[in-house]
């Protein structure tokens, strides 16, 4: 039986938006990484179950792997081959891919209805003039196009489709997120959705609305996590999403497998139940059940959130750091006076914060190297001649028109934050850092500050930066932080406040052991030998002071490595893009 010819649902006069045309010129640009047959077969079998007359949709069918798997399953269950074009529907905007799908199906005597269309232009069953009746199963592998290229009319249509389902996606969302939500709108109330989705679903901030939608929409959600990459031509980690029913759920079932071949070995009741928090990332689902339980137990027994010692806070928002932060040379050129026209700051960025503390010596060294160690902060209402010249430079550059400058009573005086006890490097590839502010400088919003509460141990300012190198604190950063482009780990103030650090009694005990070694460990950090420091902190803090077994300490270390490696692997993928 020949596959049904390609069916175009475009109305007369409709055209494919230019942004989408650009995305169809190459497979990588379309985000089309075709699914291994073993995964397509597994998802199709689960989604269809024993229903030989199930209606199935693949909203981004590509070369037809899922369509073939679905058609095979229906025939295997005793379905009528002549009805396949009524039961199996594939949609894709890329006509050549549908031609390939047609040939693939025809080669096995199978059939499907193939629709050439932008899926986001199709109307769900619960709206006026629906494109289809509800489906019993939706399967597929949504295209993965990052926000940098998912632009223009294509993004507008996808965002509107998701919003109609109550999901507001940010401008950082990749294409798969909106397609997943829109596809759910075509599913019958008790139907099944089985899709390959990027592992970003569990960890990135922009996927939070999707995570919340899954909890609201489905009565049961299962996730299959792979230990190794499943696509030969992509470096993206994926998970399998299997959801069914409606009405909402507060726990997920989780399966861990090595690769696609292990899917066949999954047995009923093999899953682990995972209770979900009201909001936030699911990064810890990449860990084994034992690692998650161990992390929670050690935190409960021995650690507190960083906010226990002091809430992380934003640095000064100048509105134009390039103008308001100055080098020593610029300060001298304009004759700006320290304490009168400018104040000392820790330079913008955090690459210079490689040690346990930021000292006056560090500040002077950076000043000599031409770093921006001053911030404009005039104290007097009547500017000096030098200050008048510098303010005129800002006017010539259009600085007063910047939003943050417009809303200030004096555009040229940013709201300087008083010097904190600690700096917090909230964006990093490896790990966030706490740095003692011995220089007592203020800072801008390229880092956070922590002001220790009254009653905090006197040693906290010096001890916390060193003890934050424990594997448990690093693991906490991976769990609570947000993964961004390039593999960057970012922690906003609220997330930074959740970072687990030792309780005061544990802090004092570990600091008594490590204080004599501080200079040596600080030197190792400045030389980039941070792994040596982690090993020593784990030994003193986790094993000796907290009494954790070597096996448990090693398990926490491996867990932190696992999440960091996944995050950095994602960064390598984006660098290749």
Percent of the chain with pLDDT over 90: 63
Question: Which residue segments constitute the domains of the chain, with CATH numbers given?
Answer: 7-286 (3.40.50.150), 287-310+453-577 (no CATH), 311-419+439-451 (no CATH)
For the chain, what is the mean pLDDT?
Answer: 86
Q: What is the pLDDT of residues 68-105, one digit of tens each?
A: 999 999 999 998 889 999 999 999 998 999 999 999 99
pLDDT of residue 382: 78
**Distance between CA atoms of 415 and 336, rounded to whole angstroms?**
18
pLDDT of residue 262: 76
Asked if the model's pLDDT at residue 134 lies above 70, the reply is yes
pLDDT of residue 151: 54
Residues 6+ apart with CB under 8 A from 333: none
Residue 485 pLDDT level (bands cut at 50, 70, 90):
low
For the chain, what percentages of helix, strand and coil (3-state, to nearest 5) are there? Answer: 45, 20, 40
Q: What is the pTM of this model?
A: 0.72
Q: What is the pLDDT of residues 1-45, one digit of tens each?
A: 445 444 443 333 333 222 222 333 444 444 445 678 889 999 999
Q: What integer is the mean pLDDT of 279-305? A: 86
pLDDT of residue 575: 40
Q: What integer is the mean pLDDT of 531-555? A: 97
Q: Mean pLDDT highest for which of 21-35, 271-285, 331-345, 374-388?
A: 331-345
Q: What are phi and psi of 432, to 5 degrees?
A: -75, 155
Q: What are phi and psi of 516, to 5 degrees?
A: -65, -20
Asked if the model's pLDDT at residue 296 lies above 50, the reply is yes
**Distance between CA atoms of 87 and 89, rounded to whole angstroms?**
7
Q: What is the pLDDT of residues 214-225, one digit of tens each?
A: 989 999 898 888
Q: What integer is the mean pLDDT of 443-452? A: 95
Of 305, 314, 356, which Cα lies nearest the Cα of 524?
356
pLDDT of residue 279: 60
Are 282 and 483 a contacting pair, CB within 8 Å?
no
Asked if the model's pLDDT at residue 278 lies above 90, the reply is no
């Amino acid at each position: 039986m020949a596959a049904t010819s390609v069916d175009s649902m475009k109305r007369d006069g409709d055209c494919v938006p230019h942004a989408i045309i650009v995305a169809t010129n190459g497979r990588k640009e379309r985000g089309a990484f075709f699914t291994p047959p073993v995964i397509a077969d597994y998802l199709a079998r689960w989604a269809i179950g024993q229903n030989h007359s199930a209606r199935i949709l693949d909203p981004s069918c590509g070369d037809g792997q899922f369509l073939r798997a679905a058609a095979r399953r229906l025939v295997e269950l005793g379905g009528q081959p002549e009805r396949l074009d009524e039961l199996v529907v594939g949609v894709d905007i890329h006509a050549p891919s549908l031609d390939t799908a047609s040939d693939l199906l025809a080669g096995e005597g199978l059939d499907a209805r193939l629709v050439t269309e932008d899926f986001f232009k199709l109307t769900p069953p619960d709206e006026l003039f629906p494109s289809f009746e509800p489906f019993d199963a939706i399967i597929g592998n949504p295209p993965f196009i990052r926000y940098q290229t998912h632009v223009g009319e294509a993004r507008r249509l996808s965002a509107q489709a998701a919003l109609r389902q109550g999901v507001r996606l940010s401008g950082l969302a990749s294409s798969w997120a909106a397609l997943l939500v829109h596809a759910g709108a075509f599913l019958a109330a008790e139907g099944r959705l089985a899709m390959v989705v990027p592992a970003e679903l569990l960890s990135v901030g922009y996927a939070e609305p999707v995570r919340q939608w899954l909890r609201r929409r489905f009565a049961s959600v299962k996730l299959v996590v792979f230990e190794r990459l499943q696509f030969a031509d992509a470096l993206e980690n994926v998970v399998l999403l299997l959801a069914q029913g409606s009405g909402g759920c507060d726990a997920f079932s989780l399966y861990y497998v090595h690769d696609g071949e292990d899917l066949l070995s999954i047995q009923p009741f093999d899953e682990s139940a995972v209770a979900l928090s009201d909001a936030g990332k699911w990064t810890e689902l990449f860990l084994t059940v034992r690692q998650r339980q161990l992390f929670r137990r050690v935190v409960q027994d021995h650690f507190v959130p960083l906010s226990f010692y002091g809430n992380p806070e934003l640095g000064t928002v100048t509105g134009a750091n390039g103008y308001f932060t100055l080098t020593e040379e610029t300060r001298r050129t304009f004759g700006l006076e320290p304490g009168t026209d400018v104040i000392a700051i820790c330079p913008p960025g955090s690459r210079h914060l490689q040690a346990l503390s930021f000292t006056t010596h560090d500040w002077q060294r950076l000043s000599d190297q031409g770093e921006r160690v001053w911030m404009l902060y005039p104290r007097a209402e009547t500017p000096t001649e030098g200050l008048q010249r510098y303010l005129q430079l800002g006017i010539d550059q259009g600085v007063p028109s910047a939003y943050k400058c417009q809303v200030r009573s004096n555009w040229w005086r940013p709201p300087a934050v008083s010097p904190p006890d600690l700096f917090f490097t909230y964006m990093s590839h490896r790990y966030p850092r706490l740095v003692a502010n011995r220089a007592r400088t203020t800072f801008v919003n390229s880092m956070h500050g922590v002001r220790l509460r009254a009653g905090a141990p006197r040693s906290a300012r010096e001890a916390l930066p060193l003890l934050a190198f424990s594997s448990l604190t690093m693991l906490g950063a991976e769990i609570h932080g947000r993964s961004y482009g390039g593999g960057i780990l970012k922690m906003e103030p609220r997330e930074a406040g959740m970072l687990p650090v030792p309780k005061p009694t544990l802090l004092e005990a570990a600091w008594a052991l490590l204080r004599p070694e501080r200079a040596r460990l600080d030197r190792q950090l400045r030389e980039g030998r941070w792994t040596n420091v982690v090993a020593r902190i784990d030994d003193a803090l986790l094993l000796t002071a907290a009494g954790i077994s070597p096996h448990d300490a090693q398990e926490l270390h491996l867990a932190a490595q696992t999440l960091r490696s996944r995050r950095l692997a994602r960064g390598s993928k984006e660098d290749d893009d």
